[in-house]
């Protein structure tokens, strides 16, 4: 922000001279690839989704059968869609109210830099790096009623094996368990980084004042990492909205379509059935939800920083 | 006094060990499961195998199809990394170094990708890829995946570039060094930590991606390993030991890679999270 700024801001004689300058050449050469890729494969498809959602279309030829908001009406009148919304909200609630406190508690236990803590952090973070699809498949073995770990546990308790993933009551809870297993380490890592940046002097001062361990946590550490908790909550919400990979190997949306999330619903009822318009309508609704979450998050962070 | 300190310490250790079991339990079950016969797997799913049968692992390692899946994933992931590094670093450099009309607006546009789920546009994306004639090719995965990763990558690069000393550019500018040359000669060589972070991130994202290849790839010759794994699972529905061996062989490289690169992964995560 020193004199470099004055170089940048030097007024040029004309737009043409500006473009031919080293600065202009850099802008014209280095920026377009990103703009082009992003526009073609991110922005345009989003606009297309809004457009296609107004047509009944199987994806072949061009969309001509304009149906107005009929696709949205169909989605909103579909019981399975609402079940997928409910499931997504369950994942969201579990992420926010079980996973985040768990991650925070663990972070408080192991944020200090010791070799043992480093090892624990590494282990807890490991599931995050594994492919969702592989994690889901491993857990589908764990939950398998015939040969899985769960069945062995049931047998040792003298009970009949339960096919957890085929049971309407248990299947989705099993999915949320896998979600916690997969992602708590990610949130823990965010908290660990934040806790490490809290000045040690503050903790010392609190202790000298006679604060107990939990009081230090409650009144010093947690308030000071508020921003990290906000970021983590934001990721948890956005992540819940797009849950897909884990569900496919576990239940594939079954039994009787009871474990769909919004994205598996979009996939099963839009894409695999060639209902591009219908699926796009689901995509638009999902987009609106994500935008709503972002606006709410921005609003909250702005309010906090005031 | 020591007693009062010992109890919480033991409780802490107990909790940590329970969580370690929760995390590693399923993974060890998978690794050992690949060594067991189906009969043994049925009788005792956890615990060490009574006899270490290597046939299920070696059957996979001798299966050219398995290597084909891994090879496809590797080609796609490496291409994504290279493309992401070049395109995102170039754009971030412009935003960090050059002020021009519309720069803030273009940047907000490119960062908009941070907020919405990839899946929202998956159907139109499929149509777009098909209309470009890219369906069933490596590019069908590489290009959209790079495009969706741009927002985070540009953000990480820009934050890093802005922290490079400004005096360096002033000196080079006075010496007659232009913006583009400065980017190649100075900015990139000074940015290896962030290049590594973004590269590792892009690689992991691509290696694990499932939804995009699922939608745009049809022929088995081009399957990435997650698609191959689901296909394999469908073929060996009751032979869990083979499936577990498959899973183990695909996650082992991921674990090794993770341990080697975890520094960069964590840096990207916390950097992106704290600044995002």
B197-224 per-position pLDDT tens digit: 899 889 988 999 999 999 999 999 999 9
**Residues of chain A contacting B252 with CB distance shorter than 8 Å:** none
Instruction: Check residue A5 and give its pLDDT.
Output: 45
pLDDT exceeds cutoff 80 at A167? yes
Contact B274 A48 (CB under 8 A): no
The distance of Cα A87 from the centroid of its chain, to the nearest Å, equals 15
**What is the rounded CA–CA span in Å between residue A303 and residue A296?**
11
Topology of domain B64-233+256-275, per CATH? MetI-like fold (1.10.3720)
Cβ neighbors of A60 (< 8 A, separation 6 or more) are: none
> What is the distance in angstroms between the Cα of B118 and the nearest Cα belonging to chain A?
8
Is B266 close to A186, i.e. CB distance below 8 A? Answer: no
Distance between CA B111 and CA B89 in Å, rounded?
14
Specify whether the CB–CB gap between A147 and B45 falls below 8 A.
Answer: yes
* B166–A1 C-beta distance less than 8 A: yes
A132, A185, A266 member nearest B119 (Cβ):
A266
B177-203 per-position pLDDT tens digit:
888 889 988 899 999 888 988 998 899
pLDDT digits (tens, 9 = 90+) for B12-29: 999 999 999 999 999 999
Closest residue of chain B to A107, computed from CA coordinates:
B16
User: Does residue A294 carry a pLDDT above 80?
Assistant: yes
Please tell me the distance from the alpha carbon of residue B93 to that of residue B181, in angstroms, as a whole number. 12
The CA-atom distances, in angstroms, between A251 and each of A137, A181, B26 are 10, 17, 18
Q: What does the pLDDT read at residue A18?
A: 63
CB contact under 8 A, B26 and A142: yes
Contact in structure between B48 and B31 (CB atoms under 8 Å): no
Which of A10-14, A186-190, B266-270: highest mean pLDDT?
A186-190
pTM, two decimals, is 0.89
Residues in chain B with pLDDT < 50? Answer: 1, 274-276
Q: Could you give the CA distance from residue B9 to residue A116 in angstroms, rounded to a whole number?
A: 13
For residue A146, the model assigns a pLDDT of: 73
B16, B46, B127 ranked by CB distance to A109: nearest: B16
Which domains are assigned to chain A?
74-190+224-305 (1.10.3720.10)
Chain B residues touching A224 at Cβ < 8 A = none
Answer whether residue A58 shows pLDDT above 80: yes
Whether B117 and A241 lie within 8 Å, measured CB to CB? yes
Chain B contact probe: residue of A18, A29, A30, A142 with most B CBs at under 10 A: A30
Helical residues (DSSP H) of chain A, grouped into ranges: 3-8, 15-20, 22-30, 32-38, 44-52, 70-76, 79-94, 100-110, 115-129, 132-142, 149-156, 171-196, 200-208, 213-216, 222-224, 226-241, 247-250, 262-266, 276-305
| A190 CB neighbour count, 10 Å cutoff | 25
Of A89-103, A212-226, B146-160, the least confident: A212-226
**Looking at this predicted complex, what is its ipTM?**
0.89
Please check whether residue B211 touches A, CB under 8 A. yes
Is residue A1's pLDDT more than 60?
A: no
- In which band, very low, low, confident or very high, does the pLDDT at A220 lie, cut at 50, 70 and 90? confident
| pLDDT on residue A69 | 93
């Amino acid at each position: 922000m020193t004199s470099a700024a004055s170089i940048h801001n030097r007024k040029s004689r004309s737009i043409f001279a500006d473009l031919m300058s080293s600065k202009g050449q850099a802008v014209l050469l280095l920026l377009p690839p990103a703009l082009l890729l992003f526009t073609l494969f991110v922005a345009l498809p989003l606009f297309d989704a809004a457009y296609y959602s107004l047509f009944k279309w199987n994806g072949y030829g061009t969309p001509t059968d304009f149906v107005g908001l009929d696709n949205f009406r169909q989605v909103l009148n579909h019981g399975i869609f609402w079940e997928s919304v409910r499931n997504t909200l369950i994942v969201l609630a579990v992420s926010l109210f079980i996973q985040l406190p768990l991650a925070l508690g663990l972070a408080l236990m192991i944020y200090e830099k010791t070799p043992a803590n480093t090892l624990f952090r590494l282990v807890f973070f490991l599931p995050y790096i594994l492919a969702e699809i592989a994690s889901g498949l491993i857990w589908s073995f764990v939950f398998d009623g015939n040969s899985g770990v769960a069945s062995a546990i049931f047998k040792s308790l003298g009970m009949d094996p339960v096919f957890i993933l085929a049971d309407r009551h248990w299947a989705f809870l099993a999915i949320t368990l896998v979600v916690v297993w997969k992602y708590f380490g990610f949130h823990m890592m965010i908290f660990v980084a934040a806790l490490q940046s809290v000045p040690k002097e503050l903790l010392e001062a609190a202790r000298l004042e006679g604060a107990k361990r939990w009081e230090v946590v409650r009144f010093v550490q947690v308030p000071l990492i508020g921003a990290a908790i906000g970021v983590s909550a934001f990721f948890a919400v956005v992540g819940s909205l797009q849950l897909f990979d884990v569900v496919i190997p576990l239940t594939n949306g079954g039994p009787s379509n009871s474990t769909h999330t919004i994205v598996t619903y979009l996939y099963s009822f839009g894409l695999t059935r060639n209902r591009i318009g219908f699926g796009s309508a689901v995509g638009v609704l999902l987009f609106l939800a994500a935008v709503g979450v972002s606006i709410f998050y921005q609003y909250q962070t702005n309010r906090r920083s005031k | 006094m020591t007693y009062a300190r010992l109890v919480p310490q033991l409780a802490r250790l107990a909790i940590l060990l329970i969580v370690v079991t929760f995390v590693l339990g399923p993974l060890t079950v998978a690794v050992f499961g690949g060594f067991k016969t189906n009969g043994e797997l049925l009788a005792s799913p956890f615990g060490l195998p009574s006899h270490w049968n290597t046939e299920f692992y070696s059957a996979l390692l001798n299966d050219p199809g398995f290597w084909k899946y891994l090879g496809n994933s590797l080609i796609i992931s490496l291409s994504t990394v290279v493309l992401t590094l070049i395109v995102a670093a170039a754009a971030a450099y412009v935003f960090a170094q050059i002020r021009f009309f519309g720069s803030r607006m273009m940047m907000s546009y490119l960062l908009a990708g941070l907020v919405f789920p990839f899946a929202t546009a998956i159907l139109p994306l499929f149509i777009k890829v098909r209309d470009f004639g890219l369906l069933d090719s490596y590019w069908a995965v590489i290009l959209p995946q790079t495009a969706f990763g741009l927002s985070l990558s540009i953000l990480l690069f820009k934050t890093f570039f802005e922290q490079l000393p400004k005096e360096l550019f002033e000196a080079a500018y006075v010496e007659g060094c232009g913006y583009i040359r400065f980017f190649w000669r100075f900015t990139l060589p000074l940015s290896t930590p962030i290049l590594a972070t973004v590269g590792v991130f892009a690689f992991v994202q691509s290696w694990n991606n499932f939804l995009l290849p699922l939608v745009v790839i049809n022929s088995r010759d081009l399957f990435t390993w997650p698609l191959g794994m689901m296909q394999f699972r469908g073929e060996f529905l009751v032979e869990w030991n083979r499936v577990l061996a498959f899973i183990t062989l695909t996650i082992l490289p991921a674990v090794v890679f993770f341990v080697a690169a975890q520094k960069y992964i964590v840096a990207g995560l916390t950097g992106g999270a704290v600044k995002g």
